[in-house]
Structure 1
Amino acid sequence: MSLSHTVGLFTHPDREWESIRAESESVSRLYLGHILLLALIPTVAGFYGTTQVGWQIGDGQVIKLTSSSALQLCLLAYAAMLAGVFILGKFIDFFAATYQVQDSTPRGVTLAAYTSTPIFLLGIIAVYPNIWVNMMVGLIAIAYAVYLLYEGLPILMKIPEERGFMFASSVLTVGLVMLVALLAISVVIWGIGIGPVYAD
């Protein structure tokens, strides 16, 4: 049932958030029916784009990764996406008491998963690894994800919009910190030898 919400989040997000709240999915069902599948989109697209299409800087030659290197990096990215949704969700549940959420049902992972939907879907652009195109589409995806966060949090948590705004801002801050931490971890991983290997 999880994937059925995907279209609704783009066409009528308010009603879709109400529907998501009514379903109250378990974390395991959410992963099996939504997160594991959608996170494959940028993963597979990234593998194809970096091994078959390649990218070009200026008028230089087209650069591609070896299949083994790309597979390794894509699997790490896939694991990071799965873990990131879960960790962000747990932060949301932790913040719930601070913002006086009365509902005892933990909904943090649900919010994190459905908020990430635009990023997962628009990750298809990775089949064409052009830095400017990817950056533009990435900004659109992030902007809509932020909109879904601010729109959906008060509905999912059943709290007033003004309190929901502060709550969503805290979640956004944690998300940005997690992104910086992920970049730092990537540098460390590259430093120990798990980095890109370019095809001849």
Structure 2
Amino acid sequence: MIQHTIGLLVRPRAQWGRIAELPRGSLNMLVLYPFILALLPAVAWYYGTSHIGWTVNGDNPIRLTTDSALQLCILFYFAMVSCIVAIGFFIHWMAGTYGAETTLAKGIVIAGLAVTPMFIFGLVGFYPLLWVDLLVAVTAASWSVYLLYLGIPIMMRIPEERGFLFSTAVMAVSLVILVSLLVATVIIWDMGAGPAFTDV
């Protein structure tokens, strides 16, 4: 799996082509890819928020208690993989509209591989510095959008024009899922799963 990660960051078009040529069994195994890579940012943010902390104006760092950080990072992990599965489902569901044949597993693989930069750059959580994290997040999100637009026509074997429309529809669905996630976060925090800070 590591070759796909490096390939998508360094030579994305060629890597998407190699992935598209994988036999069905190997492609289905890549469903595990997002479940494994999503551990990276979850672990990084657990350590960064509970042991390092962050500052806004250079004063004492603000930290979460280890219990609170663990709870939030577990929820963070499940939120990431749930969103990827949901986006993968919609890729599969919309494929027929754009003349592509696919499976649910293939949809999840496309969604999971497209967000590879967000998983890798999520490692900045080990040292949560606000302006660096924002800069990295924007870069990672932009690269992920590029990978999605590049990968869908290759993986679905459809013309680039149709692939552009397909990718745009996937982006629209992704934004709806993001808004739903934000609403769910507010509800879950209100139910008692919000952050707990430490004075140490």
Please give the TM-score of this superposition, normalised by the length of structure 2. 0.93
1:51 aligns with 2:50: yes
In 2, Cα distance between equivalents of 1:174 and 1:79: 19
**Structure 2 stretches lacking a partner, 5+ long:** none
Cα distance change on mapping 1:196 and 1:20 into 2, 3 Å = same
Q: CA deviation at 1:176?
A: 1.2
Instruction: Please name the residue that 1:179 is paired with.
Output: 178
In 2, Cα distance between equivalents of 1:142 and 1:72: 25
In 1, Cα distance between equivalents of 2:179 and 2:196: 24
In 2, Cα distance between equivalents of 1:57 and 1:166: 41
**Structure 1 stretches lacking a partner, 5+ long:** none
In 2, Cα distance between equivalents of 1:183 and 1:147: 23
In 2, Cα distance between equivalents of 1:170 and 1:143: 17
In 1, Cα distance between equivalents of 2:102 and 2:13: 22
Which contiguous aligned blocks of 4+ residues in structure 1 show a shift greater than 3 angstroms?
A: 24-27
In 2, Cα distance between equivalents of 1:104 and 1:40: 27
Instruction: Please name the residue that 2:10 is paired with.
Output: 11
Instruction: Please name the residue that 1:119 is paired with.
Output: 118
Could you tell me the percent identity over the aligned residues? 43
In 2, Cα distance between equivalents of 1:30 and 1:71: 27
1:73 aligns with 2:72: yes
Instruction: Please name the residue that 2:146 is paired with.
Output: 147
In 1, Cα distance between equivalents of 2:46 and 2:159: 43
Q: CA deviation at 1:105?
A: 4.2
SS, match of residue 98 in structure 1: helix
In 2, Cα distance between equivalents of 1:99 and 1:51: 46
Please give the TM-score of this superposition, normalised by the length of structure 1. 0.93
1:55-134 superposed matches below 5 A: 55-101=54-100, 103-106=101-104, 107-134=106-133
Residue pair 2:44, 2:126 contacting (<8 A) in 1 also: yes
Cα distance change on mapping 1:100 and 1:126 into 2, 3 Å = same
Residue pair 2:5, 2:116 contacting (<8 A) in 1 also: yes
Instruction: Please name the residue that 1:164 is paired with.
Output: 163
1:10-29 superposed matches below 5 A: 10-23=9-22, 24=24, 25-27=26-28, 29=29
163-172 vs 34-43, which deviates more? 34-43
Aligned AA (1:122): F
In 1, Cα distance between equivalents of 2:162 and 2:141: 22
Deviations 1:46-66 (A, max 9, x none): 001101110112244311000
Aligned AA (1:171): V
Residue pair 2:68, 2:196 contacting (<8 A) in 1 also: yes
In 2, Cα distance between equivalents of 1:59 and 1:41: 27
Deviations 1:122-152 (A, max 9, x none): 0000111122111100000000001101111
Aligned residues between the structures? 196
In 1, Cα distance between equivalents of 2:161 and 2:128: 40
SS, match of residue 183 in structure 1: helix
